[in-house]
Amino acid sequence: MTRKILVLPGDGIGPEITAQASRVLAACQARGLDIEVEEALVGGAAYDAFGEPLPAATLDKARGADAILLGAVGGPQWDTIEDLAKRPEKGLLGLRKNLGLFANLRPAILYPQLAEASSLKPEIVSGLDIMIVRELTGGIYFGQPRGIEEREGERVGFNTYVYSESEIERIGRVAFEMAQKRGKKLCSVDKANVLEVTILWREVMERLAPEYPDVELSHMYVDNAAMQLVRAPKQFDVVVTGNMFGDILSDAAAMLTGSIGMLPSASLNESGQGMYEPCHGSAPDIAGQNLANPLATILSVAMMLRYSLGEAALAGRIEAAVGKVLDDGLRTADIASAGKKMVSTSEMGDAVLTAF
Amino acid sequence: MTRKILVLPGDGIGPEITAQASRVLAACQARGLDIEVEEALVGGAAYDAFGEPLPAATLDKARGADAILLGAVGGPQWDTIEDLAKRPEKGLLGLRKNLGLFANLRPAILYPQLAEASSLKPEIVSGLDIMIVRELTGGIYFGQPRGIEEREGERVGFNTYVYSESEIERIGRVAFEMAQKRGKKLCSVDKANVLEVTILWREVMERLAPEYPDVELSHMYVDNAAMQLVRAPKQFDVVVTGNMFGDILSDAAAMLTGSIGMLPSASLNESGQGMYEPCHGSAPDIAGQNLANPLATILSVAMMLRYSLGEAALAGRIEAAVGKVLDDGLRTADIASAGKKMVSTSEMGDAVLTAF
Ligand SMILES: CC(C)[C@H](C(=O)O)[C@@H](O)C(=O)O
Ligand SMILES: CC(C)[C@H](C(=O)O)[C@@H](O)C(=O)O
């Protein structure tokens, strides 16, 4: 059965990096992977073309796809759009919400070849391998009521941080299962000393724990988690948290490795359908210059093969090809270092295809 | 006129570290500072004695004080108190709210003597000197409605993230003025691509900017700020943000220095009354062992002298004394390193008093 892949290049460096990833998809096809690849617009690009960051046609194609590959969305030219609902980010948030992509998996792995790129001391980060499981369709990102309104003679802005037991349980199970497959340690991050919504979060995590007796569950306040990531990140195996805290902590964790340009992510729904994207953003400052690192997007293809298409062997081959080009000393600007060969976005793509 | 100082030792290591700071206060008195020092209970200690984390008597004394010195609150033995309103943290939050201590100043400074203690590479953090200005009496910490309730057959937890224009303006002015006195750069951290409340935040910061033409204002999303703190923290001078983001980022920033045991903080209200506390927590694991680092609390006394008592000269002398003991190679366990002399809490206090 032919599987459908939707590629959404998005904005900024998105088109350049997804172009390289699409070449890798084509190479998989050439090796017998039965897929059909389509493209569509999302984010600022879709706003410019259709006045909407998530046009109905794009959403329809996304619904019909087995997996989605997204570049990145956003850029300064759209930051001034008055109507928040029209901003590029809403394209991304709309995809997540409409497809029910509640489970965001964000690995923070230090590539041994890039150990020097980290701003942390080598002994603190060598061998780092954390998986952050972030709830992606709830919490303060989507809570109602929200808005800006006049109250007692001045304007007031408000958002609602809300989780139901079933939402917490659902993401909790993903995290416990992930921990079972990894180092069997799960740290749930909350602010249960201040926020009621996270008291419920902690309670539900505790209730699930006996069903996963092989996993050691711990809890940490979010402020302490931010500190511990800086102080001793290797203490973590799997981390589970809500949408907002996950946004902050997963970016901090990714940056610990010094190679956020290397890190893919997956966003999955209950039926295993997934959207795959690099952890980094749209980097408007270097867009269109053939400078961006395409490896996170290429590794997102590997994650897609593994999690949504059941093609672990092919995924492994892509990962091995990426390892090879790093071993060969090829580096894009973001991970450049003395004595290594600096290459462009497309040259990096060439090299991965050659090694594949 | 005699100024009143209230010392609130609190929980965990709180009593040990405030004891050393109180000795420094007494030494100031001996040098002619006209103060009257009182103590009271707050947090878990107050709960154990009176069933309330913030007894009315403590709040009354706090209201009557010119400045407050707080150790730390909280500990595992109180984490299971069912009623959130009775937990130690509510003592702290109640003080902040009742005294209107809206401006939380959290410096993240790398002491050159302790450069090695950081988990970051020396070139990334040497000379680091950031001031985080955190709004402390609003945002999601205090927003209504909040709670856990039954909705459609399951429990739902919710909190409200809310700021009014006047609340934002008030903290914005503190931050702009702080930037004027420092490096003239202010970075406002928000999540204006997702949260309406922070769209208003950004708008108010923009509106204030023309009144402080010598300050360069920039904006950063909170996820990016967490990354930039890890990647290149020296790009920041003053950072202003809301209560929750400030909680997370100030702890991460403090940890960058590797010496969170060194960092004081101030929480000020509109009339300059202030509460001063170390950035670190109550460290229940080492409480009562004469192991804790009292320097953050002693430096909190210096901040108090500077910001609430108008005694900058005395403040400078305390800071110089702390510098001297570090130069002399004295270290508590948290900042210990090879070739330095490890000392206890009280020995560190002795040394500061000798140098003072
Ligand atoms: C672009 C933005 C809306 C998004 C988020 O906050 O979730 C991004 O930061 C991410 O983490 O994927
Ligand atoms: C103890 C806790 C309530 C408090 C907070 O979250 O504000 C602490 O983390 C702090 O930063 O002072």
Residue-wise pLDDT for B229-263, tens only, equals 999 999 999 999 999 999 999 999 999 998 889 99
Q: Is the pLDDT of residue B328 over 90?
A: yes
Residues A295 and A219 reside in one and the same domain: no
Residues A165 and A226 reside in one and the same domain: yes
Helix (H) / strand (E) containing B348: helix B345-355
Q: Is the pLDDT of residue B317 over 90?
A: yes
Task: Tell me which of B202, B230, B260 is where a domain ends.
Answer: B260
Residues B36 and B94 reside in one and the same domain: yes
Is B134 marked as a binding-site residue? yes
pTM of the predicted structure, to 2 decimals? 0.96
Domain with A298, as residue range(s), is: 1-102+269-356
B181 Cβ under 8 Å from any chain A Cβ: no
pLDDT, position A83: 87
What is the mean predicted confidence (pLDDT) over A37-59?
A: 97
Distance from residue A223's CA to the centre of ligand 2 (Å)? 8
Task: Tell me which of A230, A246, A262 is where a domain ends.
Answer: A262
Nearest to B230 among A84, A162, A256 (CB): A256
Q: Is the pLDDT of residue A279 over 90?
A: yes
- Which residues on B lie below 8 Å from A86 (Cβ)? none
The CATH code of the domain that includes A34 is 3.40.718.10
Residues B168 and B292 reside in one and the same domain: no
What is the mean predicted confidence (pLDDT) over A186-215?
A: 97
Report whether A10 contacts A73 (CB < 8 A): yes
**Look-up: residue for tokens 């302790």?**
B114
Window 79-98 of A, Cβ < 8 Å to B:
79, 84, 87, 89, 93
Nearest to A157 among B84, B194, B197 (CB): B197
CA distance B312 to A197: 43
Nearest to B158 among A165, A197, A223 (CB): A197
Distance from residue B28's CA to the centre of ligand 1 (Å)? 51
- Which residues on A lie below 8 Å from B260 (Cβ)? 227
pLDDT, position B83: 87
Residues A279 and A246 reside in one and the same domain: no
pLDDT, position A260: 87
Of how many residues is chain B composed? 356
Residue-wise pLDDT tens digits, B60-90: 999 999 999 999 999 999 988 888 899 999 9
Residue-wise pLDDT tens digits, A218-247: 999 999 999 999 999 999 999 999 999 999
What is the mean predicted confidence (pLDDT) over A119-139?
A: 97
Average pLDDT in chain B: 96
Q: How many CB atoms lie within 10 A of CB B204?
A: 23
Residues A190 and A174 reside in one and the same domain: yes
Residues A129 and A256 reside in one and the same domain: yes
Residues A66 and A123 reside in one and the same domain: no
Q: Is the pLDDT of residue B183 over 90?
A: yes
pLDDT, position B321: 98
Number of domains in chain B: 2
Q: What tokens appear for B229 in the block?
A: 């703190």
pLDDT, position B82: 85
Residues A142 and A191 reside in one and the same domain: yes
Residues A73 and A209 reside in one and the same domain: no
pLDDT, position B76: 92
Residue whose CA lies nearest to ligand 1 atom number 1: A89
Q: A194: pLDDT confidence band, cut at 50, 70 and 90?
A: very high
Task: Tell me which of B230, B260, B290 is where a domain ends.
Answer: B260
Residue-wise pLDDT tens digits, B258-307: 888 999 999 999 998 999 999 999 999 999 999 999 999 999 999 999 99
Helix (H) / strand (E) containing B297: helix B295-307
Residues B237 and B118 reside in one and the same domain: yes
* CA-wise closest residue to B136 among B109, B166, B171: B171
Q: Is the pLDDT of residue A306 over 90?
A: yes
Q: Are strands B330-331 and B341-342 parallel, antiparallel or unpaired?
A: parallel
CA distance B105 to A210: 43
What is the mean predicted confidence (pLDDT) over A252-271?
A: 93
Q: What tokens appear for B89 in the block?
A: 């943290």
pLDDT, position B215: 98
Window 308-337 of B, Cβ < 8 Å to A:
none
Residues B238 and B145 reside in one and the same domain: yes
